[in-house]
Structure 1
């Protein structure tokens, strides 16, 4: 079961100790803080949510992933091989983009971030890489996907990592948006969505993904409330194929602190474990109530 009966939410950005603010950027959306605490450098949104970090990096080991959810995201590679076109919605410090570029230098990676101040901080403090293969665009993720659809773009790995400081923006969590996403996904592609297993929206999110993508995979660990949803794939690989891919990927991912063998054991397919009521209401553009976010 994924609904952990905990009243409080251990946010995916991870609670981190408060350190020294070394920079502050103001934007149309929020105040952005860059905070240093010993070897840890973190990007945070405003003073109110200062205990939660959007992105962090070890200055002495910038490749090593800090957050559990970023590690879980790479379970995607157990279902797809050699991604060529990657779309990341929500930049943070650019950790996911940098790591994917190092693993697959020939892949095209498009980062979409609504807040230009986030991109500025990622460049200045978190070594966010941009080049001919890696780009960033200031745009709302949903608008970008609508335009990509009109341009007939296709992606084989779409990563949803957009947060507004409290939760996933409502317009990026509806049936209509997921249908738009599906339209720009290659036949063998996958959507990896960063979300939670403790949210009161858990059942609604699950039902909404399922109605658009069919059965999907939850990736979780017992240690925290993060979950990654893997959706959009055509067929579930066999246990043997997953084990072979995990063994092959393990040495490549180990320097980043990612245990591929562990991830291969934490894939929970909803075909065998549909843990939400059949009458759960679907989130739509007309029904996406913020009052459900009372944790």
Structure 2
């Protein structure tokens, strides 16, 4: 008698073992598929790190928190990963193709990098306080400077305050610390400097914090300085983008809809701006919080 088990029985016995071993290996692969650290250095406000996920997503973190400052897929440069950056594109949509644009806060340079491809005629500048962040953006986020994008290293508030009146058509306020907007960039005095640095028919786009109290105070401060203020919600987060103008009645539904409709089509832009900004709301009720002041 052959002491070996029948061949079919042997296959049936081995199969569960193979499946179990395969699942264990797959589990190990999932557990060990951690992001790769591409860059880590001490910056002006804590460690600056660039991580790359297994799917190729690169993320910028500043400080000890878990809040992403930037996120890009280097192989898909027309894709704006963070939703608030897509909402913020209503600003460039409202100005001329060759408008003068300032970004206060660079991070990984996701927005200016995207606009270099979608709106290449824009004349852009960015001011970033931390040179280590600029180094990370150049090395790992594809930041490319030249005649259409100049990067200045310095304090954003001082840079705006020193600018000649009417220097920019659009100012994007996107400076964020580990968890919040730097206090010096939230006050009435700073926003008044922003207004002076804007063209008379210019626009401001601001990334607002998630805290209800902070949000209410910032909206009140914007509305003290700018006659026209609108709020755009970021659907997947408790976050808002504010849009403001020195001109009264500059942000009506029809104007925002027309600007969004004129933006490059979704295939070229990577998303549908009309859908993103469809929930914009002009703020005209009395402010519900105290205005933020220097020294307050």
SS, match of residue 228 in structure 2? coil
Q: Distance in 2 between matches of 1:139 and 1:146?
A: 12
Q: Distance in 2 between matches of 1:249 and 1:101?
A: 14
Q: Distance in 1 between matches of 2:235 and 2:118?
A: 27
TM-score under structure 2 normalisation? Answer: 0.82
Q: Work out whether 1:171 is the aligned partner of 2:184.
A: yes
Aligned residue for 1:205? 218
Aligned residue for 1:41? 58
Match among 271, 285, 292 for residue 283 of structure 1: 292
Is the radius of gyration larger for structure 1 or structure 2?
2
SS, match of residue 188 in structure 1? strand
Does the CA contact (< 8 Å) of 1:216 and 1:229 recur in 2?
A: yes
Q: Work out whether 1:245 is the aligned partner of 2:259.
A: yes
Report the CA distance shift for 1:276/1:244 in structure 2 as closer, same or farther (over 3 A). Answer: closer
Select the structure with the greater relative contact order (CA < 8 A; seq sep ≥ 6). 1
Structure 2: state its 5+ residue gaps: 1-32
Report the CA distance shift for 1:255/1:275 in structure 2 as closer, same or farther (over 3 A). Answer: farther
For residues 131-165 of structure 1, give each alpha carbon's deviation from its aligned partner in whole angstroms, at most 9, with x where no partner exists: 1121101100011012113xx45100100000111
Q: Distance in 1 between matches of 2:219 and 2:252?
A: 23
Does the CA contact (< 8 Å) of 2:176 and 2:182 recur in 1?
A: yes
Please show how residues 111-190 of structure 1 align to structure 2 within 5 Å.
Answer: 111-149=126-164, 152=165, 154-190=167-203
For residues 32-69 of structure 1, give each alpha carbon's deviation from its aligned partner in whole angstroms, at most 9, with x where no partner exists: 011111111111113x31x3211111133132111011
Runs of 4+ in 1 over 6 A off after TM superposition: none
TM-score under structure 1 normalisation? Answer: 0.82
Q: Work out whether 1:232 is the aligned partner of 2:245.
A: yes
Residue 76 of structure 1 deviates from its aligned partner by 1.9
Q: Distance in 2 between matches of 1:43 and 1:118?
A: 9
Report the CA distance shift for 1:108/1:167 in structure 2 as closer, same or farther (over 3 A). Answer: same
Aligned residue for 1:79? 94
Structure 1: state its 5+ residue gaps: 1-16, 288-295
Match among 115, 133, 144 for residue 100 of structure 1: 115
Q: Which has the higher helix share?
A: 2
Does the CA contact (< 8 Å) of 1:93 and 1:121 recur in 2?
A: yes
Does the CA contact (< 8 Å) of 2:71 and 2:108 recur in 1?
A: yes
SS, match of residue 148 in structure 1? coil
Q: Distance in 2 between matches of 1:244 and 1:211?
A: 27
Q: Distance in 1 between matches of 2:116 and 2:166?
A: 20
SS, match of residue 200 in structure 1? helix
Q: Distance in 2 between matches of 1:120 and 1:199?
A: 34
Q: How many aligned positions are there?
A: 262
